[in-house]
Amino acid sequence: ILNVEQSPQSLHVQEGDSTNFTCSFPSSNFYALHWYRWETAKSPEALFVMTLNGDEKKKGRISATLNTKEGYSYLYIKGSQPEDSATYLCAFALSAGNNRKLIWGLGTSLAVNP
Amino acid sequence: KAGVTQTPRYLIKTRGQQVTLSCSPISGHRSVSWYQQTPGQGLQFLFEYFSETQRNKGNFPGRFSGRQFSNSRSEMNVSTLELGDSALYLCASSLTATGRGASAPTVYNEQFFGPGTRLTVL
């Protein structure tokens, strides 16, 4: 059974704090790793798609790193703001013949207190 | 550019009935994927359609089916509804992987999600 694990499950931080979450996935047959932000009452929105070991991506105050050999990705938020409050999902795609699909973690729920 | 739209947004059905959900992708996106989201389960992949063909399928029973039309709009059908089918159903569209040909898997590209259809089965 292929699992994508995200930790922590939830996080409460103060405005201005920096924080990070972890996404763990099977290290074999790696194909791609996605990060999404899902705000309440909205649709999931893509943050990053990462495909190469050592990839680092950045969008504003949010950045992500990827280690495919050990099977993890970190998402960092620098100087958290209340508008960063959301659930952050990662999804892993493995290379398995023609049936390539995304396997999703349960997410990390972030609450940023003003 | 208009986003992904899904109709209806909310639906209440009873056990044994069937339901059809609709998804219109972003213009130019040929891939449409469907997901089921239930509390504690996360997003579960149902299937992906590309150019009117089902290209990938998740581990759901045959009661769950779909199709895609020539304009890339997609429908999902669930027959003989069960209580456990109550969920948020999301569809997502994406482009094919750039430079990798029409048959390349779309998991290289970000998914653009619709607002979802909240299905309640009583």
Q: pLDDT tens digits, residue range A40-94?
A: 999 999 999 998 888 999 999 999 999 999 999 999 999 999 999 999 999 988 7
CB contact under 8 A, B111 and A99: no
Pairing of strands A19-24, A5-7: antiparallel
Instruction: Return the exposure string of A56-74: e unless at least 16 CB atoms fall within 10 Å of the residue's CB, then b.
Output: ebeeeebbbbbebeebbbe
Cis peptide before A82 (omega within 30 of 0): no
The residue with tokens 């972030």 is: A110
User: Does B113 contact A45 at a Cβ distance shorter than 8 Å?
Assistant: yes
Contacts of A25 (CB under 8 A, 6+ apart): A4, A5, A33, A71, A72, A73, A90, A92, A103
Contact B111 A102 (CB under 8 A): yes
**pLDDT at B106 (0 to 100):** 61
- Per CB-CB distance under 8 Å, the chain A contacts of B35 are 104
Q: Is the pLDDT of residue B107 over 90?
A: no
Q: What percent of chain B has pLDDT over 70?
A: 89
Residues 6+ apart with CB under 8 A from B88: B36, B37, B38, B116, B117, B118, B119
